[in-house]
Structure 1
Amino acid sequence: MKQRMPYEEAGSGNRNIRPGIGMLFCLLLLMLSLPAMAARQGEVRLVLDVSGSMKSNDPSNLRANGIRLLVELLPTNMRAGLWTFGDRVANPLALGTVDEQWREHALSVLPRLTEYQQFTDIETALREATRAPGEDGTVHIILLTDGMVDIPAGSSSKPARDAASRQRILDQLAPELADRNVVVDTIALSRNADIPLLRRLSQQTGGLASVAETPEELLRSFLDVLGRVVPRQEVPLEQGHFDIDDRIDSFTALLFHDRNEPPISLSTPQSSTLSAGAPNVRWRHDDRFDLITVPSPAEGRWQINGNVGPGSRILVESSLKLAGAELPATLYQYFETPLEAWLDGGQGNARATAITAELRQQGTLIDSAILTREEDGHFRGHIEPGGISGNARLRLEARGEGFTRLRQQSVDVAPALSATLAENQSSIVLQAAYDRLDRSNTTLTATLQGESLPVETLDAQRWRANLPDTLPETSVPVELSARVRLDDATREIPLPPVWLNRDAAVGVAGAQLDRSAINAREMASSDQEATETTSGPEAWLQSLWSRIGSEWPAARQQLTEWGREPWSWGVAAALAMAWLFLLLHRRQRQRRRRRRRREPHL
């Protein structure tokens, strides 16, 4: 057994670092010492949204904290670079080999993240960031955005240009990137982002789609994405305690907590207490988390004294590892995902007696499995997400005599099929997202008000349900169902209905897609209607209103300040009268136009 270094309890002379941005910089700099498994060969390219709305969705600029974390944790000799985008694309950190000089340069360009721009040109940003081919292995794109495709207006209508750019990303760019071995991991900051677009982009390229609904969740999202690029070994953290065995050379505790929580301390297996300032311990404190690195830790049970938030983890450096087949970034509803794992580096009695798997969403257990040991020493099994949708956490845990090892990552649970209603409501196209579904094993049916609709096969993984020429004027559902025969078993897959004559977006196989993103897309469609049929003062007012809508989060605070000025009420009255004129004029035009039918955007 290795000799452990003695610890002294921290006395009153311990020095705490004042929390804040400077503190976080020092904290993340120390994370260079975090233990890591051998990283996949390849490159990491950060593509960051600097549109004006980011100022409102991330007012504390926590994305800079996440990028610092990412920069410091990237393995030495890996290639990486940084791109920013709004209405134009910049490359403040050129693609280069990660070393100390590169890290210093990366941290020096972070102030540019607050040089906000007006639009959100996602397509151009991806094309620029992926223009240079990767030198060796996979290229990982980490795309962070809080918005939707929003490109500068040209000679044609802006909504039409936005829609065309969005479609090119899905139909042309994503398949091209997949063919070039480019993986796009997406982070949506807030539910206002175009989550369906980001999800499909990640699915098509084999990446992870994650959602950080609040700025506080952003750092965890960066860690989740980084875990796919640089996998790490862990030991379980349960009810504030964790076990260290004699094969662990060091551990790093990353402990999240709320602001203004009492200081955290650690109790060793010998019942001594470690706190900030203890000798031989690297300890940094921030108002949102503590990072504690302990070399040559004592064997036994360690206890955390204080509140520990979700996402906390204990990373370990050890020759004994839980290895396995690469975990998928996307799981599909109602279908099993195969799992394979084994123990690597085990000697003597270091043999796994059991390997278990768990799938949880926001702490709730969705499915679990005990993997079966086979003749080759590997453990195999499967897990099924059922009908949940969105981000979840997949855990593999190996236990043996005197040790545990944990491997976990965030996954996205997505529909196995998706449905798109044609804009003129003439048909519904169904697309298989799960690659095992095709025309040889999948049969689709559709009914409208009790009448069966013809369903034709378009290609290997697409079908079309044709709608009658005359449709009801009221909102009615088209009922869909799928019969799938796989692995000598037949199953019925629940398909939500697609509604006619109603703003809706349905993900087939049990998921309702994010409504905030859908409503924003439909607003863009509505704007396109108006733009195509208006000119003169009405077109100018419509453009002004669209600009106000796109920039509303960032402008709200400024409007509040203007409201205190006497002249502001006269301006507000004039704008209100102009807008009333626009509404009346549009209503007259709409009465003369045939009512447009909407497509649920996925």
Structure 2
Amino acid sequence: MRFLLGAACALLLTLAGAGALAAEPDRTDAVRVLIDVSGSMKKTDPGNLRTPALRLLVNLLPPDSEAGVWHFAQYVNRITPVAPADGAWRRSALDAADRIHSRGLFTDIGAALDDATEDWRSPVSGERRSIILLTDGKVDISKEDGINEQARADLLAELLPRLQDAGVSVHTIALSRDADQDLMERLALGTDGEFFQVDSAEALQRIFLRLFEQTVERETVPLDGNRFSIDDSINEMTVLAFRGPEGAPARLQTPSGETFGRPGAGDNVRWFHERGYDLITVNDPEPGEWVLRADVDPDNRVMIVTDLQLRTTRLPSNLLAGERLQYAAGLTEQGELITRPDFLQVVEFNVTQRPEDANRGPRWVLRDNGMGEDEQEGDGLFTLELGQSLTEGKHTIITQAESATFEREDRQRVTVYGDPLTIREVALEDAKRLELTPALDWIDPETLQLAATVTRPDGTTRETGVPANGDGIRALPLPESGRGIPVKVEFTLAGNTDSGRRFTTALQPVSVKPLAGATEPAAEPEPEETPPEKPQANWAFIGAVVAAVNLGVFGLLGIGYLVWSNRRGKADEDAGSEDGDEQDIDRD
């Protein structure tokens, strides 16, 4: 009963995702960036590509977000104020990006996290908090290894739980194979953040783009072969065009056919030309189809400012294979969900799941008709259950709303992990059992509730809870079939992640073969056919029978002779009588 209650609560929390889209209040995206400036960065980032990567993030942040930037090495320095990312803050942050260096001593990761989150002690409703931590090293505050090890342990035991309690997601970038990747991954997964390990600073710009999309919700329109549509509700557009080493500078073609580049841009255009990319912002863009004259790149983007916005359920950064999530999309106008049928019936909502190692993936068309996976007809929410197709690995969920007059797009990245428990078969003397052990560090083992459905060889099933012993291991005894038929087991697991998210997932089914030698019992042998025994001759009995038969025969012959003799005598008398009668007649 306790497990069923926990699973039901987890299911309600999962399904609440769709309803939360409609009820979600105005939210502030708060982002704080921590950049390692220790001396080792001279080797891992000799071209100081941290600077253009930070500039990209600064220019992408919308004015209604809040941000701050820190340097850290032996000491921690806040190089921008924590403030809304408006024009004044942006200018300050761009100047600060030029002060990134590689001259610091040591690498005090714990102090940097503590200083940047000092005012984040408890969660605030309507605020999404994110840290972007970039380092090439490990906790290094002293020349003595013991002191460094203690500082690392304190970070995990004291600071990490505080970040979890405050609702902070830590996204980590390890810019070297020598970095403490285990620490970076535990910080990220323990707070539902994303972890990146890169060998070259050349990748930083694209990673910062991905982290921007994970930490800030900003409206975009889809690019189709570097073509995109701008409608008359859009007040501003920002085009991001990545450029290869030999790539030509980007140019834009307006719907009226005019083409311009950085030198000929008008007064309503802000153009940032950086190593590796161009970022072009156009105020009051002309409605119609625009063309980006640049390399076609999957990371090119068009971001917009508009009152007509696409809103989607915000997905966790990290999922478990087998989870099912209710996902919803809808359009808002000036913050209000649009439910007008005459408007929505001409809009197509579609969702595409794109695995990281593939160009294509499954695609769904959503309808607000109350049928299939849609929860309620005409409520303005287009819903879908995600999960069945989410296999282990990284995926991008792309949602689009399209009509004849406008287009909107939203992107989210998720990383899917395998089963949170390892399953091992243990052979006993006359049966088997399954032992299940926690396999993921970011799952809270104290909250796990495991249920099993065992299908016996005869087809009957048994449902049971599987509690943990003192070591956290769960054991499930299995029935022995005795017929060579496997026993099938299905598991359902509910629990919490270290970041506090409740989940329910189905583990991979298990088929357990019987013990070696336990085969179908041999049938009892059928008795061999034997010829019937020949009876022994009883000559005395046979002689008596023959004698009796002979006596009977002779008796019958004797009787027959007497009968014949009597009949013969009577016949003679009858013959004499007949002769006398004839004489009497003649005499008369």
Matches of 1:44 and 1:165, distance apart in 2: 25
C-alpha contact 1:418 1:432 (8 A) present in aligned 2: no
Q: What's the % identity of the aligned pairs? A: 32
Please give the residue correspondences for 1:553-564 in structure 2 after superposition, counting only pairs within 5 Å. Answer: none
Please give the residue correspondences for 1:403-482 in structure 2 after superposition, counting only pairs within 5 Å. Answer: 403-417=406-420, 429-431=438-440, 433=442, 438-441=448-451, 457=468, 463-464=472-473
Counterpart of 1:246, as a letter, is D
1:370 to 365, 382, 403: 365
Structure 2 partner of 1:568: none
1:143 to 129, 133, 139: 133
Secondary structure (helix, strand or coil) at the match of 1:147 reads coil
Matches of 1:148 and 1:46, distance apart in 2: 17
Matches of 1:285 and 1:81, distance apart in 2: 23
C-alpha contact 1:369 1:382 (8 A) present in aligned 2: no
Structure 2 partner of 1:197: 183
* Cα deviation, residue 65, structure 1: 2.0
Counterpart of 1:319, as a letter, is D
Scaled by the length of structure 2, the TM-score of the pair is 0.62
C-alpha contact 1:187 1:209 (8 A) present in aligned 2: yes
Give yes or no for the alignment of 1:63 onto 2:50.
yes
Give yes or no for the alignment of 1:187 onto 2:197.
no
Matches of 2:306 and 2:87, distance apart in 1: 25
Structure 1 partner of 2:78: 91
Scaled by the length of structure 1, the TM-score of the pair is 0.60
Indicate how the Cα distance of structure 1 residues 416 and 192 shifts in structure 2: closer, same or farther if over 3 A, else same.
Answer: farther
Which whole-Å deviations, capped at 9, do the CAs of 1:403-456 have from their partners, x for residues lacking one?
221011333333452779xxxxxx975347468983333799xxxxxxxxxx97
Indicate how the Cα distance of structure 1 residues 212 and 489 shifts in structure 2: closer, same or farther if over 3 A, else same.
Answer: closer
Matches of 2:505 and 2:104, distance apart in 1: 54
Identify the range of structure 1 (236-245 vs 130-139) with the bigger mean alpha-carbon deviation.
130-139
Structure 2 partner of 1:251: 237
Counterpart of 1:62, as a letter, is L
Which whole-Å deviations, capped at 9, do the CAs of 1:193-235 have from their partners, x for residues lacking one?
3344323322322333344453222122223223344311111
Structure 1 partner of 2:249: 263
Matches of 1:192 and 1:372, distance apart in 2: 49
Higher-Rg member (1/2): 2
Please give the residue correspondences for 1:125-140 in structure 2 after superposition, counting only pairs within 5 Å. Answer: 125-133=112-120, 137-140=127-130
Secondary structure (helix, strand or coil) at the match of 1:177 reads helix
Secondary structure (helix, strand or coil) at the match of 1:308 reads coil
Matches of 1:281 and 1:206, distance apart in 2: 37
Structure 1 partner of 2:328: 340
Matches of 2:71 and 2:290, distance apart in 1: 43
Counterpart of 1:344, as a letter, is T
Please give the residue correspondences for 1:294-333 in structure 2 after superposition, counting only pairs within 5 Å. Answer: 294-333=282-321
C-alpha contact 1:432 1:438 (8 A) present in aligned 2: no
Structure 2 partner of 1:214: 200
Matches of 1:112 and 1:59, distance apart in 2: 15
Matches of 2:257 and 2:29, distance apart in 1: 44
Counterpart of 1:227, as a letter, is E
In structure 2, stretches of 5+ residues that fail to align are 1-24, 369-375, 424-435, 455-465, 476-488, 495-502, 511-588
C-alpha contact 1:416 1:433 (8 A) present in aligned 2: no
Matches of 2:422 and 2:74, distance apart in 1: 32
* Cα deviation, residue 101, structure 1: 5.3
Structure 2 partner of 1:172: 158
* Cα deviation, residue 184, structure 1: 1.7
C-alpha contact 1:62 1:215 (8 A) present in aligned 2: yes
Counterpart of 2:301, as a letter, is R
Which whole-Å deviations, capped at 9, do the CAs of 1:18-45 have from their partners, x for residues lacking one?
xxxxxxxxxxxxxxxxxxxx98336433
Give yes or no for the alignment of 1:242 onto 2:228.
yes
Indicate how the Cα distance of structure 1 residues 336 and 488 shifts in structure 2: closer, same or farther if over 3 A, else same.
Answer: closer
C-alpha contact 1:43 1:134 (8 A) present in aligned 2: no
* Cα deviation, residue 134, structure 1: 6.2
Counterpart of 2:261, as a letter, is S
RMSD: 4.0
In structure 1, stretches of 5+ residues that fail to align are 1-37, 421-426, 445-454, 467-480, 495-602
Structure 1 partner of 2:398: 395
Give yes or no for the alignment of 1:354 onto 2:364.
no
Matches of 1:402 and 1:84, distance apart in 2: 45
Matches of 2:165 and 2:190, distance apart in 1: 10
Counterpart of 2:382, as a letter, is F
Matches of 1:219 and 1:429, distance apart in 2: 36
Counterpart of 1:413, as a letter, is V
1:153 to 123, 143, 148: 143
Secondary structure (helix, strand or coil) at the match of 2:316 reads coil
Counterpart of 1:129, as a letter, is A
Identify the range of structure 1 (220-229 vs 174-183) with the bigger mean alpha-carbon deviation.
220-229
Indicate how the Cα distance of structure 1 residues 348 and 490 shifts in structure 2: closer, same or farther if over 3 A, else same.
Answer: closer
Secondary structure (helix, strand or coil) at the match of 2:162 reads helix
C-alpha contact 1:430 1:464 (8 A) present in aligned 2: no
Matches of 2:140 and 2:504, distance apart in 1: 47
Structure 1 partner of 2:31: 44
Which whole-Å deviations, capped at 9, do the CAs of 1:75-112 have from their partners, x for residues lacking one?
55765433322334333445456565554544444455
Identify the range of structure 1 (97-106 vs 407-416) with the bigger mean alpha-carbon deviation.
97-106
Counterpart of 1:275, as a letter, is G
Secondary structure (helix, strand or coil) at the match of 1:439 reads strand
- Would you say how many aligned residue pairs link Structure 1 and Structure 2? 422
Matches of 1:134 and 1:78, distance apart in 2: 20
Which whole-Å deviations, capped at 9, do the CAs of 1:109-135 have from their partners, x for residues lacking one?
445531433433322322232223469
Structure 1 partner of 2:575: none
Counterpart of 2:413, as a letter, is S
Matches of 2:404 and 2:65, distance apart in 1: 36
Matches of 1:126 and 1:206, distance apart in 2: 16
Indicate how the Cα distance of structure 1 residues 405 and 99 shifts in structure 2: closer, same or farther if over 3 A, else same.
Answer: closer
* Cα deviation, residue 179, structure 1: 0.8
Matches of 1:378 and 1:81, distance apart in 2: 35
Structure 1 partner of 2:508: 492
